[in-house]
């Protein structure tokens, strides 16, 4: 029997999620310690097909952004699918999802200015080398908490191509008892055409202007730990936070139970709104280097927020 493509499987999953819901009532960051919660059904995202966002509080607005391990397993071998492993090279060599390519996560930042996003032409070269072009369905994964996978997702999105993230990463894949391979796949080099999306990034001057002129429709979100926010934990030249920023640690988007996965849509919406982030608000996320900030930005986008910007650097 012909194997269904990941795109076909996840379009069905996305619409099923919406129908069921409508019918029912940084790289230097610590491990998450959030209350355990269940996750809603989820799926994949591609530039070609988007499920209509839903405002139902019990459903992710963009469920196609998250792929479950069982969904990905059914799509292995799809020629239009590129699975990207963002773990350390030795971890990849020891065993990875069959067909996954290894991408060096160092090339998510500029090699010369390491706090900034990688340059357009270099990123295009690097993703093209692992077989990604503008037509591919891309699923990224890391060890489990999605920190590096969502950074890859955000950089790919910034350069014009929307991918997906494997919920629970390699840890969840292993827990589900799915096949692991030690063989690196043959890769055909591809041509990726980067198209910068300036709407999902901002620089210091923009953040400073929003901080100096508070707007009830604009939220500056510090996703670092509470200790970093208050200045008790200093990881930069100065401690503390951007004036008028609110704090919600990125780790609170995940369950405490291992392997960590995203919390339910209802739980996520509740905690963001309790932090002062209302639907319709523009949100600027920041941390130290934009890695943890990308994780929270991804989560907000999953919930249906628009007008999201990662403070680069």
CATH architecture of 6-175: 3-Layer(aba) Sandwich (3.40)
Tokens of 142: 């890391």
Strands (E), 142-209: 164-166, 201-202
Burial status of residue 4 (CB atoms within 10 A of its CB: 0-12, 13-18, 19 or more)? middle
Q: 3-state class of 96 per DSSP?
A: strand
> Are 272 and 302 a contacting pair, CB within 8 Å?
no
Q: 3-state class of 292 per DSSP?
A: helix
Fill in the DSSP letter of residue 143. Answer: S
pLDDT along the chain (313 residues), means of 10: 51 40 40 32 32 66 97 97 99 99 97 91 99 99 99 99 98 98 98 98 97 96 98 89 98 98 98 95 96 98 97 89
Q: 3-state class of 47 per DSSP?
A: coil
Q: How far is CA 276 from the centre of its chain?
A: 22
pLDDT of amino acid 313: 78
pLDDT of amino acid 10: 55
pLDDT of amino acid 31: 39
Distant-in-sequence, close-in-space partners of 208: CB < 8 Å, separation ≥ 6:
none
Domain with CATH 3.40.250.10 in the chain: 6-175, 198-311
> Are 246 and 274 a contacting pair, CB within 8 Å?
no
Distant-in-sequence, close-in-space partners of 1: CB < 8 Å, separation ≥ 6:
none
pLDDT of amino acid 115: 80
- Residue 183 phi/psi, 5° resolution? -100, 130
Q: 3-state class of 286 per DSSP?
A: strand
pLDDT of amino acid 49: 27
Q: Which pairs from 20-26 meet CB under 8 Å and 24+ separation? A: 20/59, 21/54, 21/56, 21/58, 21/59, 22/54, 22/56, 22/59, 24/58, 26/147, 26/224, 26/287, 26/288, 26/289, 26/290, 26/291, 26/292, 26/293
Spatial distance between the Cα atoms of 60 and 16, rounded to a whole number of angstroms: 12
Give, for 83, the enclosing helix (H) or strand (E).
strand 81-85
CATH superfamily of 198-311: Rhodanese-like domain (3.40.250.10)
Spatial distance between the Cα atoms of 125 and 106, rounded to a whole number of angstroms: 14
Q: 3-state class of 62 per DSSP?
A: coil
């Amino acid at each position: 029997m012909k194997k269904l493509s990941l795109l076909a499987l996840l379009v069905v999953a996305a619409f099923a999620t919406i129908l069921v819901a409508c019918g029912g009532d940084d790289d230097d960051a610590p491990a998450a310690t959030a209350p355990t919660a269940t996750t809603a059904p989820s799926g994949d995202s591609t530039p070609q097909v988007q499920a209509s966002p839903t405002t139902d509080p019990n459903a992710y607005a963009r469920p196609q952004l998250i792929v479950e391990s069982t969904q990905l397993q059914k799509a292995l071998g799809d020629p239009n699918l590129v699975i990207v492993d963002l773990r350390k090279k030795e971890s990849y060599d020891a065993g990875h999802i069959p067909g996954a390519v290894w991408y060096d996560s160092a090339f998510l930042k500029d090699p010369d200015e390491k706090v900034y996003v990688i340059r357009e032409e270099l990123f295009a070269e690097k993703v093209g080398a692992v077989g990604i072009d503008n037509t591919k369905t891309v699923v990224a994964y890391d060890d489990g908490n999605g920190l590096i996978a969502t950074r890859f997702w955000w950089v790919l999105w910034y350069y014009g191509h929307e991918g997906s993230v494997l919920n629970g990463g390699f840890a969840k894949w292993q827990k589900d008892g799915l096949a692991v391979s030690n063989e690196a796949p043959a890769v055909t080099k591809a041509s990726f055409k980067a198209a910068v999306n300036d709407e999902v990034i901002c620089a210091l001057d923009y953040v400073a202007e929003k901080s100096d002129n508070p707007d009830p429709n604009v939220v500056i979100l510090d996703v670092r730990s509470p200790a970093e926010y208050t200045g008790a934990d200093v990881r930069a030249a100065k401690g503390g936070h951007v004036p008028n920023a609110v704090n919600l640690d990125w780790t609170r988007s995940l369950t405490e139970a291992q392997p960590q996965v995203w919390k339910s849509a209802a739980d996520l919406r509740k905690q963001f709104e309790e932090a002062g982030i209302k639907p319709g608000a523009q949100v600027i996320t920041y941390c130290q280097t934009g890695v943890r900030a990308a994780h929270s930005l991804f989560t907000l986008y999953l919930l249906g927020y628009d007008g999201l910007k990662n403070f680069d650097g």
